[in-house]
Amino acid sequence: FLGAGGGNDIQWCFSQVKGAVDDDVAEADIISTVEFNHSGELLATGDKGGRVVIFQQEQENKTQSHSRGEYNVYSTFQSHEPEFDYLKSLEIEEKINKIRWLPQKNAAQFLLSTNDKTIKLWKISERDKRPEGYNLKEEDGRYRDPTTVTTLRVPVFRPMDLMVEASPRRIFANAHTYHINSISINSDYETYLSADDLRINLWHLEITDRSFNIVDIKPANMEELTEVITAAEFHPNSCNTFVYSSSKGTIRLCDMRASALCDRHSKLFEEPEDPSNRSFFSEIISSISDVKFSHSGRYMMTRDYLSVKIWDLNMENRPVETYQVHEYLRSKLCSLYENDCIFDKFECCWNGSDRQVIFHRTVTFFLPPLCSIVMTGSYNNFFRMFDRNTKRDITLEASRENNKPRTVLKPRKVCASGKRKKDEISVDSLDFNKKILHTAWHPKENIIAVATTNNLYIFQDKMN
């Protein structure tokens, strides 16, 4: 009597693509983050030019039951501008590193967006009515000559074309010496954390002039620095628990109740190194680029250069599952080091699905959705999905060539060595400039957003 979807493999179809068609990519258009809001109705992207573009899903057309609503531009605004740090003679990039949505509490939507140094809380609100019929003002805003006012009237609201306004409500600045890599909103919906290379700060959403430092791994002597923080996230249910990952492939779970400065972790997750795979690049490829809790909070997923690992929070000494994203790159690590691709930070995400509903006699239990599929990006505009239940995986490509809506995407295969079969692509033909670093999964439906360098692809499952 389990109500969740499961079992059958999803058939992914192309739905939409957003962004410029030319091959010539303007640097400012490079997408740097993608995030659905809690309902999935809104999809936000951030780019290198400091802009945020929000897409809104159209209301489902009841007559057209075989397709879900399309995403169209809802709001565009300049979130961050380039700044110049005069003290250090260095530019502060306006690139949006992360966007995180707040759960909706009223008519307006709120999101946090951050660049390397400053986090901003944006309010996005709609206006579809305006007051008309003022006593003292003309319709165009000019003030009337008071002597001509002979009657009193009450202004009324009249409909107008929908206008979506974004306004910065809070600016959380000057708290990070190093580059911010993560922001995460607490399950209390009042606080959030921001993490840079060496420190993690805790903020209250209402207070901008103060933050609490909760993790500091900066050594007294910077000469001793060998490890940095790469990602951090709050536990989805425990408001006192968060994790942070490092460049050495470790994840630390911290409890804020233990002490004000969470210097000592409650748990340390680390997989022992495989000695047969040891090379000079071992540490670099073990560096974790993303960490995501499952919806229940029982598991967490980490992404390092070649793999995705699922960890059970109750087991620190090794992951419970490991999925190889592009193992064929292991023999190419030297080239990838030379061209800096080895430092690419891939993100990963869980599927979002309807909550599990269990009926037992007269009682209904609502449980967090099952996290059964993980998705992450790769090179050549390929992205990968792993089904934890069936143990099957699939490689798909985000390309304008598969442009027909409702046509199922063809699985791709990379030929690692030996004879290349038809339709396979050899490792040497992969385009390492075409990388998919950012992907997002709709929280409730099987709709995914996949960002190539400057395009955003939306895929959905084939509905019957």
Partner 1 sequence: MFVRGLKRKCFDGEEDIEGTLAGIKAIPSYNLQRQSLLDMSLVKLQLCHMLVEPNLCRSVLIANTVRQIQEEMTQDGTWQMINTQSTGQASLDRLVSTDILCRSSREQAEGKHIPGYSTFNKDFEGDQAQGSSETMSTASSVQAPRNLQSNVWEMENPQENKGNFQKSLDQIFETLENKSPNSVEDLFSEVDNSYYDLDTMLTGMMSNTKTVHCDGLETFSSPTTATSNSNCKSDLNELDHIVEILVES
Pair of tokens at residue 47 = 């780019």
CB nearer to partner 1: pick between 140 and 340: 340
Helix (H, G, I), strand (E, B) or coil at 233: strand
Kindly tell me which residue out of 76, 331, 403, 433 binds partner 1, with binding defined by CB under 8 A: 331
| Residue 324 binds to partner 1 (criterion: CB under 8 A) | yes
| Residue 162 binds to partner 1 (criterion: CB under 8 A) | no
> From the DSSP assignment, how many helices (H) and strands (E) are in the chain?
2, 34
| Residue 216 binds to partner 1 (criterion: CB under 8 A) | no
Closest CA to 429 of 397, 392, 402: 397
Burial class (CB in 10 A: 0-12, 13-18, 19+), 142: exposed
| Residue 438 binds to partner 1 (criterion: CB under 8 A) | no
| Residue 279 binds to partner 1 (criterion: CB under 8 A) | yes
Cross-strand bridge partners of residue 363: 360
Choices 251-259, 322-330, 432-440, 456-464 (CB under 8 A): range interacting with partner 1: 322-330
State how far the Cα of 252 lies from the Cα of 268, in Å rounded to an integer. Answer: 5
| Residue 403 binds to partner 1 (criterion: CB under 8 A) | no
Pairing of strands 413-415, 424-426: parallel
**Site mask, partner 1, residues 111-130, x = CB under 8 A?**
-----x--------------
Q: 292 to each of 265, 266, 301, 347, 393, how far by Cα in Å?
A: 18, 18, 5, 9, 19
118-136 burial, b if ≥16 CB within 10 A, otherwise e?
Answer: bbbbbebeeeeeeeeeeee
| Residue 296 binds to partner 1 (criterion: CB under 8 A) | yes
| Residue 237 binds to partner 1 (criterion: CB under 8 A) | no
Q: 62 to each of 6, 105, 168, how far by Cα in Å?
A: 25, 27, 36
CB nearer to partner 1: pick between 241 and 356: 356
Amino acid at 432: F
Give the number of residues in contact with partner 1, rule: CB under 8 A: 69
State how far the Cα of 305 lies from the Cα of 285, in Å rounded to an integer. Answer: 5
- From the CB of 205, what's the least distance to partner 1, in Å? 25
Choices 33-41, 61-69, 149-157, 177-185 (CB under 8 A): range interacting with partner 1: 177-185
| 423 phi/psi in degrees, rounded to 5 | 75, -5
Site for partner 1 in 244-263 (CB under 8 A): 247
Kindly tell me which residue out of 77, 134, 212, 281 binds partner 1, with binding defined by CB under 8 A: 281
| Residue 227 binds to partner 1 (criterion: CB under 8 A) | yes
Choices 55-63, 148-156, 254-262, 316-324 (CB under 8 A): range interacting with partner 1: 316-324
Long-range contacts of 320-324, Cβ-Cβ distance < 8 Å, separation of 24 or more: 321/388, 323/374, 323/384, 323/386, 323/393
Kindly tell me which residue out of 25, 30, 228, 239 binds partner 1, with binding defined by CB under 8 A: 228
State how far the Cα of 416 lies from the Cα of 163, in Å rounded to an integer. Answer: 52
Kindly tell me which residue out of 310, 348, 409, 451 binds partner 1, with binding defined by CB under 8 A: 310
Kindly tell me which residue out of 217, 367, 408, 425 binds partner 1, with binding defined by CB under 8 A: 367
CB nearer to partner 1: pick between 123 and 413: 413
Provide the binding-site residues for partner 1, judged by CB under 8 A. 2, 87-88, 90-93, 116, 177-179, 197-198, 222-228, 230, 247, 274, 276-281, 283-284, 287, 296, 298, 310, 312, 320-324, 327, 330-335, 337-338, 340, 343, 356, 358, 360-361, 363, 365, 367, 370-372, 386, 388-389, 391, 417, 427-428
